[in-house]
């Protein structure tokens, strides 16, 4: 069912429940994102995609990647309140990950040069959850997740030990915006590779993180899909052998 809403004064009709971010995209209105990927369920963790919605005359800030479109909604993506919030989110990210090229480039793009927040160390993971979701929703093995709370929260394998369910497909390293995780060659591991995290040398992407038409990305995707496919075939074979 179609609903009608306005974004920055422009009228748009979209299917009910379409995330506002997608509706804005159809109108060519850019909204910065970090934890969003069109192939995965929205997560709403980075808050960079914040916009203002007015509902029953009440304005409020929401994350556009997971806020559903509804009839009569008035969306504003460029108010001072929105700009201030996104700037603050970016400054927090800069304080957490001052040396991550993807964060530096995004900050630069948003005109954020310094952070008013005290440096919280030198993290490489922004806790966006993209790796966790791709492993769960696309690969289907749930080899990684989040552990700990508050400042101790981190992406890890269960019990922090080598995962016995990881198939070495590399999908998590492909999707990670900060290059926190990588695959290391390990002939004895499934897929010939195992997961390594947190010890990377971060080089800035020569293509400024514009992944479309990037040869390296296409090659990586191809290899990843081949490993996932191989894993699925082996699993099916194992299951049918067990039935016999």
Binding site for ligand SF4 (CB under 6 A): 125-131, 134-135, 139, 141, 143-144, 155, 166-172, 175-178, 180-181, 195
- Based on the shown chain and the rule CB under 6 A, indicate whether residue 68 belongs to the binding site for ligand FES: no
**Which stretch, 34-42, 106-114, 154-162, 179-187, contacts ligand FES (CB under 6 A)?**
34-42
The answer to whether residue 65 forms part of the interface with ligand FES (CB under 6 A) is yes
Q: Candidates 46-54, 102-110, 185-193, 232-240 — which segment interacts with ligand FES by CB under 6 A?
A: 46-54
Tell whether residue 130 is a contact of ligand FES (CB under 6 A). Answer: no
Residue from 3, 18, 29, 47 touching ligand FES (CB under 6 A): that is 47
Of ligand SF4, ligand FES, none, which one sits near residue 63, judging by CB under 5 to 8 A according to partner kind?
Answer: ligand FES
CB of 199 vs ligand SF4, minimal distance in Å: 13
- Supply the minimum distance, in Å, between the C-beta of residue 33 and ligand FES: 4
Name residue 51's beta-bridge partners: 62
Cβ contact 21:88 at 8 Å: no
């Amino acid at each position: 069912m179609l609903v009608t809403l306005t974004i920055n004064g422009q009228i748009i009709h979209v299917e009910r429940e379409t995330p506002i971010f997608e509706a804005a995209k159809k109108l060519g209105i850019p909204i910065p994102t970090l934890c969003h990927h069109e192939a995965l369920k929205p997560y709403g963790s980075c808050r960079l995609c914040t916009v203002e919605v007015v509902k029953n005359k009440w304005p409020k800030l929401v994350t556009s990647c997971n806020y559903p479109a509804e009839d009569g909604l008035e969306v504003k993506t460029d108010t001072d309140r929105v700009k201030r919030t996104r700037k603050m989110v970016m400054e927090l990210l800069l304080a957490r990950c001052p040396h991550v090229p993807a964060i530096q480039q995004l900050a630069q793009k948003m005109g954020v040069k310094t952070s008013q927040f005290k440096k919280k160390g030198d993290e490489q993971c922004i806790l966006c959850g993209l790796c966790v979701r791709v492993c769960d929703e696309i690969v289907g093995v749930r080899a990684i997740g989040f552990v700990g709370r508050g400042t101790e929260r981190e992406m890890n394998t269960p019990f922090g030990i080598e995962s016995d369910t990881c198939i070495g497909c590399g999908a998590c390293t492909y999707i990670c915006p900060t290059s926190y995780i990588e695959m290391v060659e390990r002939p004895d591991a499934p897929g010939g590779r195992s997961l390594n995290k947190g010890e990377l040398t971060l080089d800035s992407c020569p293509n400024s993180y514009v992944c479309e038409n990037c040869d390296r990305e296409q090659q990586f995707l191809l290899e990843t899909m081949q490993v996932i496919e191989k894993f699925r075939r082996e699993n099916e074979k194992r299951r049918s052998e067990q039935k016999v």
